[in-house]
Structure 1
Amino acid sequence: MTRHDAGLAPAVFPALAALIVHPDEGPILFDTGYDPAFFAATEPFPERLYRWTTPVSLAPGQAVADQLPAFGFTPEDIRAVVVSHFHGDHIAGLTRFPNARIVCARAGLAEVQRKGRVSRVRRGVLAALAPADIDARAVFFEDRPRVPLGPDMAPFETGADLLGDGALLAVQLPGHCPGHWGLLVRQNDDRTRFLIADAAWSSGAVRDNAPPPRLTTALLGETGPYRGTLHALHRLWARNPDLIVTPSHCGEVGIETCRAD
């Protein structure tokens, strides 16, 4: 289900989040990964179908909110959570960060507020994971200034400047689901990291330009735009080897802290 050229075998699928430490804004998260709230949200039917189709293992202490003290922060310290999209494996911990702005796409938030529980679950969305005050806390990518990314990021042309200093640029990555965006992080080691969420499910898929089968992409989003985005990422990676491309479910990625410049 994750690569069109793969065989039928179970795959270990890590769910990653990024801790970004900005020199002025402080700690910011890109997504939240899983959290015990996921199990509560998937207890009733039809939400339980989500848990059946994507079995989750979460050991004590693995939730992002529980890992933060090891990096010197508490959940209350998080100033913003940048949400790539609203699938349950990306926002399960969202309610654990009460002081954070929720930076997201309008189209993504609309998926949470879509009518019909079965329709939401089929599209990978668990409305119970969204904070009750999300409308008041939401800051939308679409409202932030658009800036050119420069020739090194071709074929991607513009990004939404989230903080006004160019350190965090949200980039639309269509196809996986409505309101799916990635994040360019200018690190203090002079390298740039491209957090691409689910635009690819592994680094190998980007290197090989290997999309999921059509059945998978059609269930969640749109196959044509998904493959167009993956091909663009493949071209970007091939011509810009210094760029760190990080999918949210890649087993090659270790635990890191991104410090924004």
Structure 2
Amino acid sequence: MRRVSLTGFRVGHCRHPQAMAIRGGRWAPVDFPALAFLILHPEEGAILFDTGYDPAFWQATEPFPERLYRWTTPPVLHAGEALADQIAVRGIAPGEVRHLILSHFHADHMAGTHRFPNATIHAARAGFEALCRGSRLSSVRRGMLRALVPPGFDRRVRWFEDAAPVALPADLTPFTEGADLLGDGSLLAVPLPGHCPGHWGLVLRDEAGLHFLVADAAWFSEAIRTDTPPPWPTMRLLGDAAATRATLHDLHCLHRRNPDIRLTPSHCAECAERL
């Protein structure tokens, strides 16, 4: 795999009882950071994996029923914490971002999509179809906000399902197949079914070796290490409980088999501390 560089950012957070995200957790509310990542590619330049929260989230959740999203998982985004603002501090204007990879269409992963108007968007067709299906209330119940889809999305999107299939490195077993997003082997999207329709992760190689961004296939690194899924009602609320369980078990097997591979969930406080 071609090497790239990777920088992670904490882009807001929400608060929720820990017990809703991992069996045996506390019922006291804890912070769930929203992590997003800047990838620097030797030819393509700035690439993003997810966006975290953005002021657009508050605009999208002003009306009802979308406001239910804001009430059930109250988010916090401090001034200057939006991803577009954070990368600008590093000298990268939002308009310079060439590619934006969305792990899935939940609002806390795509709220900042509109801030990167020149980026080709890589996403799952199955996830977008789920976003557009049914009533506004049903979309909100699934954690999706249609108002966050930017103008011209259909002209800018490339579907994971249409990217060139590729065999993953043997080190990633039991994960065997992915999609080569750029055609040079540097960024491999990997289906991680269960959390919601069209949920994918991303494998890349940086200066420290293989790194697997697993999005919401787990909410805590501890869940991967111990193979401990969320409570059944939580899994059923958002997606496919059986598929969620199977994906988490595969991540656990990968960790046991090859603990040197970094597995990074998008809401893990432990991973946020390392950033």
Same fold, TM-score > 0.5, yes or no: yes
Tell me the equivalent position of 2:266: 248
Tell me the equivalent position of 1:5: 24
Tell me the equivalent position of 1:171: 190
**One-letter amino acid matched to 2:257:** R
TM-score (norm 1): 0.95
Gaps (5+ residues) in structure 1? none
Q: Deviations over 1:171-219 (max 9, x none)?
A: 00000000000000111x1501100000000111111111100100100
Distance in structure 1 (CA, Å) of the matches to 2:36 and 2:26: 28
Tell me the equivalent position of 1:213: 231
1:109 paired residue among 124, 128, 134: 128
Structure 1 residues 1-261: aligned runs within 5 Å: 1-187=20-206, 189-254=207-272
TM-fit CA distance, 1:106:
0.4
Contact preservation (8 Å) 2:126, 2:198: yes
Gaps (5+ residues) in structure 2? 1-19
Contact preservation (8 Å) 1:94, 1:129: yes
**One-letter amino acid matched to 1:171:** V
Contact preservation (8 Å) 1:105, 1:140: yes
Q: Deviations over 1:29-75 (max 9, x none)?
A: 00000000000000100000000000011110000001012222011
Further displaced range: 4-13 or 38-47: 4-13
TM-fit CA distance, 1:79:
0.5
Distance in structure 1 (CA, Å) of the matches to 2:67 and 2:33: 20
Q: Deviations over 1:70-118 (max 9, x none)?
A: 2220110111110000000000000000000110000011122223100
Contact preservation (8 Å) 2:212, 2:264: yes
Q: Deviations over 1:119-156 (max 9, x none)?
A: 10011000000112111111011111111113211110
Distance in structure 2 (CA, Å) of the matches to 1:19 and 1:254: 14
Q: Deviations over 1:215-249 (max 9, x none)?
A: 00100001000000000000001111221110000
SS in 2 for 1:15: strand
SS in 1 for 2:76: coil
Distance in structure 2 (CA, Å) of the matches to 1:205 and 1:256: 17
Q: Per the alignment, do residues 4 and 254 of structure 1 end up closer, same or farther by CA in structure 2, a change over 3 Å counting?
A: closer
**One-letter amino acid matched to 2:70:** R
**4+ residue stretches of structure 1 with deviation over 4 A?**
none
Contact preservation (8 Å) 1:112, 1:130: no
> Which has the larger share of strand?
2
SS in 2 for 1:219: helix
Measured on the aligned residues, the alpha-carbon RMSD in Å equals 1.2
